[in-house]
Structure 1
């Protein structure tokens, strides 16, 4: 299975909490730039996993404008800074066992 890991774009520092920090204009531009790079790789993304944090969800929105992604993404709390990496790895292994060929992970 191919796993594409995308970090969120640049995010504002001034927010009520870390989970609601929005992307900056530069962060939106960075997200589109990476989406266009990924588009050039000519891969078909079968599944999308995304952090519940606002900046990751906004990154997904920007990427979705450039790529043909599945209609829905799976929001995984484990993709946050305090998440359990072991659970993410186990989930990716389960997707491999299901025959999923490519996953985009945005955190």
Structure 2
């Protein structure tokens, strides 16, 4: 299974709560760059899991413009900034197995994304994700490897 973990695009701070923060114009642009990059990496996603927070939902809206429709997409309350990484990894892997997903995209937040990488790949410290950045993890049964971390500034031409 190929697992892609993506942080939401840049969001503003002028919102009544953290949950309601919206993407900025730059956040939408950078997300579009990363969506184009993702489309070159993967022909389709079998499963997409998105945080319920507005900025993650908006990130998915931007990404989905550049990709074919996934077989299944879910909003998962566990992929919020303060979510439990171990439990979230277990849930994501269970959904991937349930839907027989070979290519999975998770759109969420820091710090949970960094901790998820550490849960998935033995011996790796939690990486920092720039906004709109994507980590690619190659999962082989019980073994997984960190393939790459790609951020918008690396794909803008």
Q: Deviations over 1:30-68 (max 9, x none)?
A: 111000001111332000000000000000000011111
Cross-structure match for 1:100: 101
Write 1 or 2 for the structure with the bigger share of strand. Answer: 2
Using the TM superposition, name which of 14-23 and 42-51 deviates more.
42-51
The alpha carbon displacement at 1:86 in A equals: 1.6
**Matched residues, number:** 107
Distance of 1:48 and 1:81 partners within structure 2: 18
Secondary structure of 2:9's partner?
coil
Taking a change above 3 Å as real, the CA distance of residues 51 and 23 of structure 1, as seen in their structure-2 partners, is same
Q: Which runs of 4+ in 1 moved over 6 A?
A: none
1:42–1:100 distance in 2 versus 1, CA, 3 Å: closer
Cα deviation for residue 71 of structure 1 reads: 6.4
Give the alignment's TM-score, normalised by structure 1.
Answer: 0.91
| Distance (whole Å) between structure 1 residues aligned to residue 83 and residue 47 of structure 2 | 20
- Per-residue deviation, 1:88: 1.5
Cross-structure match for 2:45: 45
Report the 3-state secondary structure (helix = DSSP H, G, I; strand = E; otherwise coil) of the residue aligned with 1:3.
strand
Q: In proportion to residue count, which structure has more helix? A: 1
Query: Separation in 1 of the partners of 2:52 and 2:39?
Result: 24
List gaps (5 residues or longer) in structure 2: 109-157
Following TM superposition, by how much is the alpha carbon of 1:14 offset from its aligned partner in structure 2, in angstroms? 1.1
- Could you tell me which residue of structure 2 aligns to residue 80 of structure 1? 80
Unaligned runs of 5+ in 1: none
Larger Rg: 2
Query: Does the CA-based 8 Å contact 2:45-2:71 persist in structure 1?
Result: no
Structure number with higher relative contact order (C-alpha < 8 Å, ≥ 6 residues apart): 1
The residue that corresponds to 1:61 in the other structure is 61
The CA distance in 2 between the partners of 1:103 and 1:71, in whole Å, is 10
8 Å contact kept, 2:5–2:106: yes
